[in-house]
Chains A and B, each alone.
Chain A
Amino acid sequence: MSRMLRAEWTKLRTTAGPAWLLVAAVAATVALSVLAVAATSCPAGSGCPVDTTKLSLTGVQLGQALVAILAVLVISGEYSTGMIRITFTALPRRLGVLAAKGVLVTGLVLAAGTLAVLGGLLAGRLILPGHGFSVAHGFAALSLAHGPTLRAAAGSVLYLALIGLLSLGVAAMVRDSAVAIGVILALLYLFPIVATVTSDPKWQRHLEQIGPMTAGLAIQATTGLRSLPISPWAGLGVLGAWAAGALLAGGLLLRLRDA
């Protein structure tokens, strides 16, 4: 296993793409969070039903797309160049290769995700008090010492890692990078869009409970937990199930098909 990890690490380290994608993921997450936070204000004298923690973590919605590219390219990149045949010749245990890729993607995304999430929270902590979300208005400054905020922050990092694993699984299934990224973004973005248009509240709730993004991002909520379609950790569990299913199917196809 350590041989496989070293091989995969060398491949990741020696191409420029992954490093740039990780930087871009952090930058995109923080940038969208800053924009969302800067665009929100709470005029004096009005109650603002805003979940400030969740607002500061808005950037994850964009950052996940870059995490998905990274994870997809770790597999699809090898297929497009034919590198995959060399990889499997050198390391014939295909599931081991997939596992090594999974471990590396998880590690890298956890590191980058932590930076991105902390950046978003910092933006919220610095900008929001100036926009009416002050202590005087009943909003405490964002702090990781606050239990639900810590859960939202740590959960968002885990969310990004699970998105990476889901993407890895999908890429192992469909192999082509363009199709893989299309499938992943469709899985993520379509559930909430269809849910907003569905007129039946029951269906709407079901769609939000099974969608990998809508369920997974329940982990970001710190207020109004009762009215969430799914509880925070259960939601992250749904995304975990999606990722596990994708990895399982991807691994199976990797073994069954010719490379």
Chain B
Amino acid sequence: MTAIVTPRRAARPGGPPGFGATVRAEWIKFRTVRGWVTGMIAAVVVTALLGLFAAGSAHIGCGGALGGPARTGAACLPAVATGPGGEAVVDSYYFVHQPLASHGSITVRITSLTGKYFPAGGPGSSAQGPAGSAPQPTAVNGLQPWSKAGIMIAASTKPGAAYAAMMVSGQHGVRMQYDYTHDTAGLAGSVSGASPRWLRLTRSGDLITGYDSADGTHWSQVGTASVAGLPSTAQAGLFATSPQYLQISNNELGGSSGSSGASQATAGFGDVRLTGAAAGRGWTGQGIDTAADADYPVQGGGYRQAGGTFTVTGSGDIAPAVPGPGSTFPTATIEDHLVGVFAGLIAVLVVAAMFFTAEYRRGLIRVTLAASPRRGQVLAAKAVVIGAVAFVAGLVAAGIVVPIGIRMTRAQGQYVMPVSLLTEVRVIVGTGALVAVAAVLALAIGAAMRRSAAAVTTAIVVIVLPYLLAMAQIVPPGAGDWLLRLTPTAGFAIQQSIPAYPQLNVPYTPNAGFYPLAPWAGFAVLCGFAALALGVAVFLLRRRDA
């Protein structure tokens, strides 16, 4: 093996070896230690096996005593609508509509928004019985924060259709929302007879502009939406909907349990003006995706028209679907299959720390530094080698386990939240990058501490323990969020595939897969720790005798 290095050295008499030669030397050291290579391969295998175990251990059953014949596996997959961007959506509401040509507008005044909800146990609660057999619901008056009613221009009345809408909401004022994921705030404050809200949508081809007004004369633009794929004859009209009410209580074991139920919103509309409507067609009222066996709890709907005023009642939501406590059916995310990364990561951290500490144990460090006296360069070369190897290990493991795991999970009857190809690539490549940067951090800790046991423990404790404390809710949720912001564990945010949409009243908890930092911001925190550790290591390497 040394024969590979010697001629190169001989070819450049005098002066220290270049960076390329140092990297080469470190690569040879790495690949000729059997335990380290085995450790890396073990990391890949363990990551994949644990991920597949987690995917295969879910046993989803459905139907049975109450909902028809018992089924298991893929027969239980819920029929979830997907929006224009391919994301899973909830699209249940009541729509009073008529056709709209490619140029036109709709204007209304909303004078009231009231609601009620049906606590768990009533029909439409998550423990659902067949419609009709349950006792009469005991309704409680009250709006949900995101109950909404207003005007909408939609591509069609199919669930998941593209749309743009102006609405008043329970607690979040006037909003303009389109294509499920986009949300812009308009006028604040709630709506009432004393302070009504005027809303307007104008359509010009694919471009829809939303306006709001507090008096019907002074209008301000809230936003514009380019709704791709809007047909020349779209549907325009009034809608009302109200999301499930959700109550999450934490129990003493650190878990949480929730109760949920359907809710209903009723809005009063006046001054309905529609321009550009196809001639001779009146209003049609229609419940969108409100069947009793829908995947989202809904509770009736309808409308009344008296002259120019309308009263529309609806239930459900027009919003992206999210995993975790806010979901009404069992869901998995693509990153759920990456739980094995923790096991693999521990193996990688051990190898990475030893990649430096072993030099001290064997006294090899003196030979290494004699051969390439620039100590910073030696550390950099080791970082390049271990980072590259760890990146490949993480990438291969994630690249195997994510696609196979998704298929296994679906075969078990569990719904996997669909994501765009770009997001899937970010999760898989990000896992490789995460493992690589964590390995560099462990290497730097090893270089700074020189002792294997102390370095390995430090690396594992700073990367894995905060995750455990936050996820298993051993520390309270608020403290857990800070752990996931301020420790190297923040880097795991790169694996989050479903964003935390603010327009949902859902607890976005870490153990449902929602990190307090955005994916790249979390990854940057990990990179910052690695850079800091490298800096400290270089400083100590230069100052101390080897």
Contact = CB atoms under 8 A, between A and B. Distances in A.
Contacts of B336: 197, 199
Contacts of A200: 57-59
Interface in A20-52: 35-36, 39-40, 49-51
B250 interface: yes
Contacts of B59: 200
A171 B330 CA distance: 42
A65 interface: yes
Given A69-B453, A200-B59, A49 B342 contact: no
Interface string B218-251: 0000000000000000000000000000000111
B347 A182 contact: yes
B465 A62 contact: yes
A198 B347 CA distance: 21
B100 to A, nearest CB: 44
Contacts of A181: 350, 452-453, 456-457, 460
A179 B472 contact: no
A88 interface: no
A58 B252 contact: no
Contact of B469 (A61, A195, A223): A61
Contacts of B414: 199
B457 A51 contact: no
A194 B339 contact: yes
Nearest to B337: A197
Interface string A163-181: 0000000000000111111
Contacts of A50: 252, 476
Given A182-B350, A189-B342, A198-B57, A39 B476 contact: yes
B54 A49 contact: no
B165 to A, nearest CB: 34
A40 B479 CA distance: 8
A97 B246 CA distance: 60
B252 A193 contact: no
The size bracket of the interface on B is: 35 or more
Given A65-B465, A221-B253, 6 more contacts: A178-B354, A186-B347, A189-B346, A193-B467, A196-B511, A199-B57
Contacts of A40: 475-476, 479
Interface residues of A, number: 44
A185 B460 contact: yes
A228 interface: yes
Given A179-B350, A181-B457, A193-B339, A199 B58 contact: yes
B479 A36 contact: yes
B453 A72 contact: yes
Contacts of A221: 252-253
Given A178-B353, A189-B465, A196-B471, A49 B346 contact: no
Contacts of A178: 350, 353-354, 357, 452-453, 455-456
A38 to B, nearest CB: 9
Interface in B431-473: 451-457, 460-461, 464-465, 467-469, 471-472
Given A61-B469, A200-B58, A176 B452 contact: yes
A237 interface: no
A58 B330 contact: no
A126 interface: no
Given A39-B476, A50-B252, A76 B457 contact: no
A190 B346 contact: yes
14 contacts: A49-B252, A61-B465, A65-B465, A66-B457, A72-B453, A73-B453, A178-B357, A179-B35, A185-B460, A186-B343, A189-B464, A193-B468, A194-B53, A198-B58
A108 B349 CA distance: 29
B397 to A, nearest CB: 15
Nearest to B482: A39
A194 B54 contact: yes
Contacts of B342: 189-190, 193-194
A62 B353 CA distance: 20
A40 B250 CA distance: 14
B474 interface: yes
A192 B464 CA distance: 11
Contacts of B353: 178
Contacts of A193: 339, 342, 464, 467-468, 471-472
B193 interface: no
A64 B251 CA distance: 26
Nearest to A192: B472
A134 interface: no
A49 B467 CA distance: 22
Contacts of B330: 199
Nearest to A73: B453
B461 A49 contact: no
B252 A51 contact: yes
B90 interface: no
Contact of B251 (A49, A62, A80): A49
